[in-house]
Structure 1
């Protein structure tokens, strides 16, 4: 799991940066920028730990994520939010998304969760922070209106669920990681989105 832990740190950095970008766009003060960055980066994991009743959320007992959150939030402040959503940022974000879904999925399997709780734990970890970010800033959640994002994570997580008992942790986690990352990047590059239903 050490390789996934490294990818998670990249994801935390990317999610913190996205929170900071939104906060700057919404004209938050300095404290607000760092708070929104933290919520975006770690909110999903905290929600997961609360719902799955594992005790004190990991974020409050493990401080190794804090430097990545600070760095992710500080760069947009230095750049005054001028560097927007570019391909490099999307790549880092996709790595983090993949790692969050897979690491949470493996933990859920090892704890004996059923399929529905497994999917919830993986999904809320992957997209919960962004969801909280958009709710706090009174925006329509991005995951519900643009990009193949959460769906990519769910598809990769389902692969993990079915491959884990057959191939073991190491092989299953890497196949799932590659699947989520590939779906996310292909959809981004090809500008593929789920259909939006409009009124007649």
Structure 2
């Protein structure tokens, strides 16, 4: 009787351990299914060559911006005798790849300020068309970092890619419209680079 009892006890214990392992594995698989995969490394492969960052630089921060662009109908300083919509003020919040707001975009001049206090001012060096008449062009800017240490302190380049909206300037802007204001919403990815 004792040996039968021991055998039954061993089988019961083995079944309990197996059940615990199966239940634990199922719970682990369920938990892992809800975890987002790591973002893949940023690549410039699909970009126009004019807005590609030169080799010898690495990505510091990848963000997605959502905001507003404020325009005014005025004489175009770049082309004498013409009138058009001129960007007078951008404003956007930038989220990192986890969805956390990490920076703000403002201007002029074009300035990105991180929540850690660091900042960088951009100077446009190139534009590349983006498909869609109302989408801002892709852009490459050089960066002039501010003095405050932090994420943006050593940024050398800023890319604006994956733009949506921001350039629906179909509203009339003639001599009679000078001084009129126009605000458009937009989205874009801003990628910040530093020397490797």
Give me the TM-score of the superposition, normalised by structure 1.
0.23
| Structure holding more strand per residue | 2
| Higher Cα Rg, which structure | 2
- Name whichever structure is richer in helix by fraction: 1
